Structure 1
Amino acid sequence: MSGTIDLNQFLIFVRVIQAGSLSEAARRLNLPKSTVSRKVSELEERMGERLIQRTTRKLSLTEAGRVLFERVGPAMSDIEEAESTVLGMRGTPRGLLRVAAPMSFSKLGPIVAEYLVRHPDAAVEMVCSDRRVDLVEERFDVAIRAGALVDSTLVARNLGKAKFMLVVAPEYSKHHGVPKTPAELTSHACVTFSGGVAPHVWTLESKSKRVEVRIKPRLTVNDMEIARDAALAGVGIACLPEIFCGDDVRARRLLHVLVDWSAGEVPMHALYPTRRHLSPKVVAFVDLLAQRLLY
């Protein structure tokens, strides 16, 4: 036995046995009877054994045919079930979704929970790391990334931009006041994120103006959640993405200072390996990200 396996030969052989005749198998398969007979003959030639004894009234399996049917029949059923499952996934998100996301991204928690509630046949495995994962090699369906893109082979869905803002706790402002100009930041305690290029220098823009201010941090940390907690505790003025502190500002737990000045923006993207045959579980998740992630 050599050459490429023709699965149609095995499928037609199984259908002939199940139907009880070549004619009935041909009808069920919507094929000419001659095609069905030829495929069975080709399989017998490949096996080097007669598989079916043919008479004018009925078909019967030879010993070799019985052995083959007992092994191939269940396999064909598994293939059909797999096909049915995959076809059923076209419209409904289902199955395991593997997501790579940045560390300290608490905003994703409610989004993932909403996704799972909406789609009860789906499950999520989320790996949070600031390492740039290899989506294909590590079999991730989606990666969420902040900053400039470097993976030219991946498909990117723009999720907007994470806007940074300067915030401070009311308790801090009560004792130390708040800056009226960027230059006044130099006299205030600050909380800064150490993941940037120059964490002790904040760049602010307002209309056509652009200034760089060298701050004096009381806390330098590479975790946004810790920076936010420190700001809430009144440690100092923090420069945080709105997705981390927007709710606190709206609830007046933090005050937005220097509101006429922009503290920068970082592009956000959802990445996936290919656009072709994109699974509904990926489409639904990325669509929800686009709706909920950024203000």
Structure 2
Amino acid sequence: MSGTTDFNQFLIFVRVIQAGSLSEAARRLNLPKSTVSRKISELEERVGERLIQRTTRKLSLTEAGRVLFERVSPAMSDIEEAESAVAGMRGTPRGLLRVSAPMSSSTLGPIVAEYLVRHPDAAVEMVCSDRRVDLVEERFDVVIRAGALVDSSLVARNLGKAKSMLVVAPEYSRHHGVPKTPAELASHACVAFSGGVAPHVWPLESRGKRVEVRIRPRLTVNDMEIARDAALAGVGIACLPELFCADDVRAKRLLHLLVDWSFPEIPVHALYPTRRHLSPKVVAFVDLLAQRIQLGNN
């Protein structure tokens, strides 16, 4: 046996035996009888054995045909069951969804929980890491990334832009005062997030003007929750995403500093491999992300 395998030959062979005649198999497969007959002949030529004894009244298997039918028939059934299972997944989100997200993604917790409650046949494996994962190689369904995109082959769904603000605890301000200009940040204790390119340099913008301030961190950490806790405890001035500290600012647990200055906004995207035959579990999750993540777009 050589050459490229034509699985249609095997499928038609099995269907002919199950139907009991070429004509009935052709009807069930919605194919011309001549096509069915040709495929059987091609398969016999391929394996080098006669598989079916044809008479005007009935078909019967040769010894070689019986062996082939017993081996191929279960495989065809498995393929059909697999096809049915995959087709069933098109309508309802189901199965395991593998998601990669940055460290300190606690804001995604309620969204993941809502997704699982909405779709009881779905499960989520969420891996939080600031390492740039290979979506295809590592078999992730969705990757959430902040920053400039470099994977041009992936489909990107824009989730908005992440904004950050300078905050400090009232306790710190009472003892050390607060900066009135960006330059004064250099003389204050700060909490730096080490996930960036230059964690000890803070770029600030205001009305087209940009400055870079080299800070003096008392704490450098790659977890945003720890950075927030340190700021609340009065360790120093922190740069935190609005999503992490907006409630604390509203409750006056943290004070918003230098309100006329802002950090460059960071684009956030959900990435997935292709739009073609996109699984419902991916569609439902990405749609929910877009609805629930409240990121500025200005």
Distance in 2 of aligned mates of 1:157 and 1:238: 30
Alpha-carbon distance between aligned partners in 2 of 1:195 and 1:12, rounded to the nearest angstrom: 58
Correspondence for 2:158: 158
Query: Once the two structures are superposed, what CA deviation does each residue of 1:33-82 show, in whole Å capped at 9, x if it has no partner?
Result: 22222222222222222222233332222222221111111111111112
Q: Report the Cα distance in structure 2 between the residues aligned to 1:213 and 1:164, rounded to whole angstroms.
A: 16
- Displacement of 1:177 in angstroms is 4.5
Q: Distance in 1 between matches of 2:118 and 2:186?
A: 48
Q: Which 4+ stretches in 1 moved above 6 angstroms?
A: none
* Structure 1 SS opposite 2:106: coil
Please say if residues 130 and 195 of structure 2, whose CA atoms lie closer than 8 Å, have aligned partners that are also in contact: no
Q: 1:162 Cα deviation (Å)?
A: 0.8
Count of matched residue positions in the alignment of Structure 1 and Structure 2: 292
Q: Distance in 1 between matches of 2:208 and 2:101?
A: 35
* TM-score (ref. length: structure 2): 0.88
1:11 shift after superposition: 0.9
Quick check: 215-224 or 62-71, which moved more?
215-224
DSSP-derived class of the 2:165 partner: strand
CA distance in 2, matches of 1:247, 1:74: 60
Instruction: Say which SS state the counterpart of residue 163 (structure 2) adopts.
Output: strand
- Give the direction of change, closer, same or farther, for the CA distance of 1:235–1:9 in structure 2 (3 Å limit): same
2-structure distance, mates of 1:247, 1:110: 16
**CA shift in 2, pair 1:196/1:9, >3 Å:** closer
What is the distance in 2 between the residues matched to 1:118 and 1:109? 14
Cα distance in structure 2, aligned partners of 1:170 and 1:288: 36
1:140-151 map, 5 Å: 140-151=140-151
SS at match of 1:103: coil
Q: Percent identity?
A: 90
In the superposition, relative to structure 1, how do residues 12 and 199 fare at CA in structure 2: closer, same or farther (>3 Å)? closer
Taking structure 1 as reference, are residues 33 and 245 closer, same or farther at Cα in structure 2, changes over 3 Å only?
A: same
Whole-Å separation in 1 of the counterparts to 2:194 and 2:27 = 71
Structure 2 gaps, min length 5: 293-298
Q: In the TM superposition, what is the alpha-carbon distance from 1:227 to its structure 2 partner?
A: 0.5
SS at match of 2:156: strand
| DSSP-derived class of the 1:107 partner | helix
The answer as to 2:253 corresponding to 1:253 is: yes
Measure, in 1, the Cα distance between the counterparts of 2:2 and 2:217: 73
Deviation readout 1:191-233 (Å, 9 max, x if unpaired):
1213334433323223244344443322222221211110122
Whether the 8 Å contact between 2:167 and 2:238 is mirrored in structure 1 is: yes
Distance 1:250 1:71, change over 3 A: farther
In 2, Cα distance between equivalents of 1:88 and 1:279: 11
Distance 2:213 2:45 in 1: 83
- RMSD of Structure 2 on Structure 1 (CA): 2.2
Encode CA deviations 1:78-136: one digit per residue, 9 max, x unaligned. 11112222222233222222222212221122222222222222222222221111222
Question: How high is the TM-score relative to the length of structure 1?
Answer: 0.89
CA distance in 2, matches of 1:226, 1:33: 72
SS in 2 for 1:157: strand
Q: Which moved more, 1:3-12 or 1:56-65?
A: 56-65
SS at match of 1:235: coil
Structure 1 unaligned residues grouped into runs of 5+? none
